[in-house]
Amino acid sequence: MENLQDLQNEILTAVASASDLKKLDEVRVAAMGKKGSITEKMKSLGSLPLEEKIAAGKELNLLKTAVEKAIEERKTYLETEELNRRLARESIDVTLPARPEIQGRIHPVSKIYEEVVAIFGQMGFEVAEGPDIEDQFHNFNALNMPADHPARQMQDTFYIPNPDSDNFDDSFVVRTHTSPVQIRTMENKKPPIRVIAPGRTYRSDYDATHTPMFHQVEGLVIDKTTTMAHLKGCLYDFVRAFFEIDDIKVRYRPSYFPFTEPSAEMDIGCRKNKDELKIGEGDDWLEILGCGMVHPKVLAAGGLDPDEYQGFAFGMGIDRLAMLKYGIPDLRTFFESDLRWLKHYGFVPLDESSMTGGLSNNGGLAR
Ligand code: DAH
């Protein structure tokens, strides 16, 4: 078979000069497609005498293999080139500052969340979590609130039917507080326990200071010798760090919660003027959290021996802390997703809250 070398040179030149994948494919079709130059030669083999057919077939196969290899290599080369071109085209300089008009904001709730975790984190607390949809055992019974307990009426609970049971006692709830995480922690962890549990909570309530979904943070410390003095010191340190006021005034008032005994509420000193609330000084008081020594029945429900272990718990509203610290008057606006609101009250990202680097980064307030 004549001219095979010329044909090969011709095709290989075409392959080498194909400037993109589309052109390369055209070259492939022209050589090896149904009517391609190599295909035609293959077809013509049939008319040759046997000896020649074998020799020419061999040569043709060599040609075909060489062309295939050249096409494959060219393809890889063109693909790599295309990728490099794309990477160069789409490269971004990550060291450039964000454009202000498209910069996002950190929601005040997230900000307070970070601040609370930073403060308790430095005191050695871990963050614990529990489900938003709870069973009544964890949300109520284990916290010393049996079905007929009047405290159940203190909270306007959203119930969720249990598909496997018609018995109301088996229905689920969206947790009315973060306190069930106390029980879940005790079930899963041996003392010493030192956790905070921030998260979403739900109650059927709606006005300027209540929304159906809100946020709380729970605290739980359990060991063999933990006392109310530790509770007082721990929470005092917390409010000092949180409000960034070293000599903040505080007081503890006796109170009642089913899951603590004794129970207390903590107030911080403040001054209420007409349109202004000054925290840390003045003769007025502002309640900020509930706390107490964990009730022996709660320890037992969590699987701990109340004769061996004791500890304290506390719970507070994250949104309420945000309203107080950043002077936001209406809780409902927190969850309306109004971008103008978020721009006003939100925080610049990357200003991380830390005990050493500045907690609230007021300089970073996006106002
Ligand atoms: N769970 C309570 C509530 O939602 C808050 C609370 C009070 C939590 C006292 C506690 C505590 O852990 O000790 O109103």
- Answer positive or negative: Cα dihedral of 310, 314, 315, 318: negative
State yes or no: pLDDT of 8 exceeds 70: yes
Q: How far, in Å, is the centroid of ligand 1 from the Cα of 218?
A: 7
What is the per-residue pLDDT for 360?
72
Q: How far, in Å, is the centroid of ligand 1 from the Cα of 316?
A: 7
Q: How far, in Å, is the centroid of ligand 1 from the Cα of 272?
A: 26
**Nearest residue CA, atom 6 of ligand 1?**
315
Distance CA 344, CA 290 (A): 31
Nearest CA to 253 among 267, 239, 240? Answer: 267
Contact 349, 97 (CB under 8 A): no
With the most atoms of ligand 1 within 8 angstroms of its CB, the residue from 259, 266, 295, 312 to mutate is 259
Contact 115, 163 (CB under 8 A): no
Token look-up 């450039």 returns 96
State the pTM of this model: 0.73
What is the per-residue pLDDT for 364?
43
What interhelical angle do 318-326 and 228-243 show, nearest 10? 40
Ligand 1, residue 178: give the atom nearest the CA: 1
State yes or no: pLDDT of 154 exceeds 70: no
Contact residues of ligand 1, CB 6 A cut-off: 177, 179, 218, 257, 260, 290-292, 313-315
With the most atoms of ligand 1 within 8 angstroms of its CB, the residue from 134, 257, 298 to mutate is 257
State yes or no: pLDDT of 362 exceeds 60: no
Ligand 1, residue 216: give the atom nearest the CA: 4
155-184 per-position pLDDT tens digit = 689 999 999 999 989 999 999 999 999 999
With the most atoms of ligand 1 within 8 angstroms of its CB, the residue from 214, 234, 314 to mutate is 314
Q: How far, in Å, is the centroid of ligand 1 from the Cα of 168?
A: 25
Q: How far, in Å, is the centroid of ligand 1 from the Cα of 64?
A: 81
Burial 180-198 (b: 16+ CB within 10 A, else e): bbbbbbbeebebebbbbbb
State yes or no: pLDDT of 27 exceeds 90: yes
Distance CA 198, CA 326 (A): 19
32-89 per-position pLDDT tens digit = 999 999 999 999 888 889 888 898 899 999 999 999 999 999 999 999 999 999 999 9
Per the structure block, which two tokens stand in for 86?
């794309």
261-302 per-position pLDDT tens digit = 999 999 999 998 877 888 888 899 999 999 999 999 999 999
State yes or no: pLDDT of 96 exceeds 80: yes
Confidence band for 220, pLDDT divided at 50, 70 and 90: very high
**Nearest residue CA, atom 2 of ligand 1?**
315
Distance CA 247, CA 281 (A): 9
**Nearest residue CA, atom 12 of ligand 1?**
314
For the chain, what is the HEC assignment? CCCHHHHHHHHHHHHHHCCCHHHHHHHHHHHHCCCCHHHHHHHHHHHCCHHHHHHHHHHHHHHHHHHHHHHHHHHHHHHHHHHHHHHHHCCCCCCCCCCHHHCCCECHHHHHHHHHHHHHHHCCCEECCCCCEEEHHHHCHHHCCCCCCHHHHHCCCCEECCCCCCCHHHCEEECCCCCHHHHHHHHHCCCCEEEEEEEEEECCCCECCECCEEEEEEEEEEECCCCHHHHHHHHHHHHHHHHCCCCCCEEEEEEEECCEEEEEEEEEEEEECCCCEEECCCCEEEEEEEEEEECHHHHHHCCCCCCCCEEEEEEEEHHHHHHHHHCCCCHHHHHCCCHHHHHHHCECCCCCCECCCECCCHHHECC
